[in-house]
Amino acid sequence: MNKKTFFTLLILFFCNVIAFNFVFNRNDNLRVIFFDIGQGDSIFIETSQGHQILVDGGPNNSVLNNLEKFMSPFDKSIDMIILTHADKDHLAGLVSVLKVYNVDIIVWSGASSESNLFYEFKGLMDGKKVVTVKAFDKIFAGDIELEILNPIKDVETVKDLNDTSVVFRLVHGKSRFLLTGDLSSKFEMDVIEVFDDIKSNILKIGHHGSKYSTAEEFVKAVSPSCAVISVGKNSYGHPAERVLELLEERNIKTLRTDIHGDVVFYSDRENIFLKK
């Protein structure tokens, strides 16, 4: 066997090992991963059928490194991205993702921004299927359902971009995850007035734990067993002591991306498991 043949076989063997490990290490459960992305939000959802959804992209292109940790190196497509709202700490990473990955569907609230970053994002939307959602809409992907809870009001009438956030509950059998974007307490109250049932096992705390989000009445209505705060080093005082104390008083297990790193949950439709 000459040297060229040997190296060809070695490369093929190596590639087969990677593919073999990827296929047989895939989890048959739903995965929901809150990325350690710094001061921002980015959440990766993968259904048991392999449907992939990225909710927000964080403040920069570091989301690409996060995706590489949890996706096959051969996979350069994402079924859907959801932009909760067009602030940089949610949007910037999605611009990078759209330049690297083939994305089929873009979901957003329709609330625009005057930033250059947003105009770049809008340009990258060309040729994609774009879906504008509002409260009471539903999205189905494999064995999961996304129940849209906000925007309730016409986004053109909402002054604060945070309050145009796409808020939704992910339903997987008996498992429920509530993702809130940067919604303020005032608009959280609108949600609980409009929707009778928003109970969820996992609550993504709004606006990185800001004192202007996470109303006590809202937390009561959600009644989560676990809360996730997506936060990094910042000068805003996130997460606020009031929010941390509220969660502690209600015996809600609290996980922070700045402390715990990537927070990974699995659901088998009956129970939710936290990857240690």
Per-residue pLDDT of the chain (276 residues; tens, 9 = 90+): 554 443 333 444 333 433 333 333 445 899 999 999 999 999 999 999 999 999 999 999 999 999 999 999 999 999 999 999 999 999 999 999 999 999 999 999 999 999 999 999 999 999 899 999 999 999 999 999 999 999 999 999 999 999 999 999 999 999 999 999 999 999 999 999 999 999 999 999 999 999 999 999 999 999 999 999 999 999 999 999 999 999 999 999 999 999 999 999 999 999 999 997
Query: Rounded distance, CA 31 to CA 13, Å?
Result: 29
pLDDT at 93: 99
Burial class of residue 175 (count of CB atoms within 10 Å of its CB; 0-12, 13-18, 19+): buried
Q: Fill in the DSSP letter of residue 135.
A: T
| DSSP letters for 55-80 | E---SSTTHHHHHHHHS-TT--EEEE
Domain ranges of the chain: 3-274
pLDDT at 218: 99
pLDDT at 1: 52
pLDDT at 3: 41
pLDDT at 28: 80
CB 268 within 8 A of CB 246: no
- In CATH, what is the architecture of 3-274? 4-Layer Sandwich (3.60)
Burial class of residue 178 (count of CB atoms within 10 Å of its CB; 0-12, 13-18, 19+): buried
pLDDT at 55: 99
Buried b (16+ CB within 10 A) or exposed e, 131-145: eebbbeeebebeebe
pLDDT at 276: 76
